[in-house]
Amino acid sequence: MKVAVVGVTGMVGRVMLRVLEERQLPIDILVPVASSRSVGKKITFKGKEYPIVGMEEAIALAPDIALFSAGGETSKTWAPEFAAAGTTVIDNSSAWRMDPSKKLIVPEINANELTAEDKIIANPNCSTIQMVVALAPLHREYTLKRLVISTYQSITGTGVAAVKQLENEYHNREGEMAYPYPIHRNALPHCDIFVEDGYTKEEMKLVHETRKILGDTTLNITATAIRIPVVGGHSESVNAEFQNDYELEALRKLLHESEGVCLQDNPDTNTYPMPLYAEGKDDVFVGRIRRDLSQPNTVNLWIVSDNLRKGAATNAVQIAEYLLAHELV
């Protein structure tokens, strides 16, 4: 079993290696792939050193699976090359997510859509993944009608440059800026770039990707995405309106029993999800569950998850696990 990790030196790539080790994917040979400036350097995986190779050499090695986390342009250029060589690509960028010919997969929800013919599989956006893990079982039971979403997103979603900016500002050092303003002691209503209608690309990913994953193009969704000076994970305030009414305890029980969800919801003991405790974990934590008193059939939820793990690396590895378990590669 030969697995390539493309973008292995990046923030998500390093977490992918950690998750692959932890979940013990049956890998005989690892193929670490990065840009030309990293080729020849070595990384350690399961106690063994592997030299980093470039794209063309990686394709020649014919990996069974390639986990991509190297940006959209790299994926657009190289994912088809890997696929043409027989490799199944699981891509973490936005390059293929809304391509109607590609599957957008969260294993707890729609992995059963996958076939051996799917050679490029899209991993959703981090903020989308954690939200739909919590919402999918509720949608099946009560049928979602409308979502109002506010996100409070970790700087790690931007990458290493943002982490360095926060560290520099915290220590009162000069340095390069990943954001147009300081992030320390601040909140930026600006995730990704603005598009023509005044929303950001991140906000529209929540709209379009959620509809595709849940298979409901009629779902009304609006979102505001905020960047905050947090490292551990993304948080989301979600107001969900259903077509059918619900009993609050039944809804809680449904979430408690749902795969990938950890219920943390007890105001009496100050128990609720926080990125401080989500960091390093693979669950999606849900709490602050309460009926919206302003309109019928509506609930408020607070959803938190480690964006580098379940929001990126772990979801991709879970897709690989499904492919292997069902002999699709």
**In whole angstroms, what is the distance from residue 323 CA to residue 112 CA?**
10
**In whole angstroms, what is the distance from residue 74 CA to residue 154 CA?**
24
Residues 6+ apart with CB under 8 A from 62: 2, 85, 86, 87
**In whole angstroms, what is the distance from residue 140 CA to residue 157 CA?**
29
Residues 6+ apart with CB under 8 A from 124: 97, 104, 105, 106, 132, 209, 213, 315
Give the count of beta carbons closer than 10 Å to the beta carbon of residue 175. 13
CB hemisphere CA count around 311 (13 angstroms): 30
**In whole angstroms, what is the distance from residue 137 CA to residue 145 CA?**
14
Give catalytic residue positions: 126, 234
Question: What does the CA dihedral 230, 236, 237, 242 come to, rounded to 10 degrees?
Answer: 180
183-207 burial, b for 16+ CB within 10 Å, e for fewer? beeeebeebbeeeeeebbebbbbbb
Contact predicate 287/37, CB 8 Å: no
